Chain A
Amino acid sequence: MYSSELIKGTVTTLILKLLSDNRRMYGYQITQAITEATEGKITLTLAAIYPVLHKLKASGELTTEKEKVGNRVRIYYSLTDQGNDTAQEKLKEFADYLATMKSLLDLKPGLQKCLTI
């Protein structure tokens, strides 16, 4: 399990990525998909996923469809065109960030020197 501080900044990107790979998903499905894909290393709490879903909907990145399932309503989320663009941007930014972090944490000789001082 990773710390919540580490996961916090990646939730939006994770959600956008999942929704760009799947036409539509509902909240529980998203949490389970992340847990399964990361073999339990990332488990999103309710407070991590639902506020972000609602924020993304309010800002026009996501749209919802309501469907009756048994005796209740299920809300499916999917990307809008704007959301698709944002997803691509976020993924690109994240890949770049990972590359930067990797080069930083691979402990280049210069950095290694700094850390030992």
Chain B
Amino acid sequence: MPDDLIRLTKSQISIIRSRLKQDGIKTAELVEDLLDHFCVAIEEKMAEGRTFNVAIDDAFGSLQEDELKATEMKTQELLEGKKVFYPDLFQSFLLVLSALFIGWLVFFAVQAVAIGIEDLELREQWFEQNHLLIFEISTVLIFGVPIGYAIWKKRQMQSSASVFSFRSVPIYVYGILLLIATFSCFWLEPLHLFIPLFREGQEAEFAVREEFNPLLGIAVGTGNMILMELPSRGIILKGLLMTMTPLRAIFWSSLLSALLVYPYFTSIFFLSWILGWLYWKTRSLYPSIFILIAIPVISYILAQNISALSKSYISWWNYVDHNLLIYLPLVIGSLLLTVGLLYYLNRRLSVESTT
């Protein structure tokens, strides 16, 4: 294309941008593409002697009926999958409840089999030996139900889009996320330490982790978290973002993902706000999965070096000898630094999508 054509002014470009948005173009990168497309077309028409107003009417007038809306919808469909195979809020609740029900059912069914062993001592021994395995089977089933649902729906729709969004994210994002994960180790602790909804469940899992090789415990825990991310952000949040505002979608998906891992309800609910926001900004599961891997790994590394009580995770509350005067500034400071980093990341990502 010739580059020595008339160049549109900022206000003329702003008119075209408004027109695109008015006609239904929302995806940031699509706006930039189409803006340039229309600018070139209009500049060519103006070079032939038409005024800007005539040229813009000609350019938009040459489109087929609802062509811009179709472009937006098709882009969304190819990138995100058809709306129909992602659940709305009611379906999301149903999915989470069914997943929990199936997980529990298997957990209790296996227990019932164990109870069938008549000798009490043998029964307890069997249960202790197989606790982690039973727990993992029910966890995989809990998360597997929503994943299976989405894959089944996608097949039904014969869609070519991937169920899960794994888009590449600039490398600097991971650097910022590493810092966020480090600071989150501090402020997340009081959430499950002081506001535990299911203390027994948590303690049982920590006890299991301590019994086994700490690295195996971390690998299993991290695997579970990744498995949680697929239905939580990959399916539920993705579906909710199609039907409600980002804020509401992030709130409901955080609540539902915290329900899926109810022993950690409080901490996962708050952490999910960050994970949900990351997904919404990047439309990729990589950043949230990265955070979920980084937090336990950082905690493990710190525990290896400074914790005397546990070699699999570090408790800052124990480390500072339950001294609130040290603990409180540590928690508040880390929270403020996390918020600051998120603010910085938001600005960097916003610049990325508009320049």
Chain A partners chain B:
yes
Q: Which residues of A contact B41 (CB under 8 A)?
A: 28
Q: Is the CB of A28 within 8 A of B7?
A: no
A69 sits at the interface (CB 8 A): yes
Is B29 a contact of A54 with CB atoms below 8 Å? yes
Query: Once the chains are docked, how many angstroms separate the CA of A32 from the CA of B40?
Result: 11
* Total number of residue pairs linking A and B with CB closer than 8 Å: 82
| B135 CB → nearest A CB, Å | 36
State whether the Cβ of A74 lies closer than 8 Å to any Cβ in chain B: yes
In-complex Cβ contact of B78 among A51, A66, A71, A74 (8 A) = A51
A50 interface contact, C-beta 8 A: yes
**Chain A residues closer than 8 Å to B355, beta-carbon distance:** 66, 73
Q: Known contacts A50-B33, A71-B9; is A45 also within 8 Å of B64 by CB? A: yes
For residue B50, CB closer than 8 A to chain A, the reply is: no
- The chain B residue sitting closest to A25, CB to CB, is B1
Looking at chain B's contact residues, the main secondary structure is helix
In this complex, the interface size class of chain A, counting residues with CB under 8 Å from chain B, is: 20 to 34
- B36 A32 Cβ-Cβ under 8 A: no
Q: Beta-carbon contacts of A3-43 to B below 8 Å, as 1s and 0s?
A: 00000000000000000000000111101100000000000
Q: A28-B1, A58-B167, A71-B10 are in contact. Are A51 and B37 (CB under 8 A)?
A: no
* Interface-located stretch among B68-76, B225-233, B304-312, B337-345: B68-76
Residues of B within 8 A of A (CB): 1, 3, 7-10, 13, 27, 29-30, 32-37, 39-41, 63-64, 67-68, 70-71, 74-75, 77-79, 165, 167-168, 355
- A-side residues, CB < 8 A to B, are 26-29, 31-32, 45-47, 50-55, 58, 60, 66, 69-75
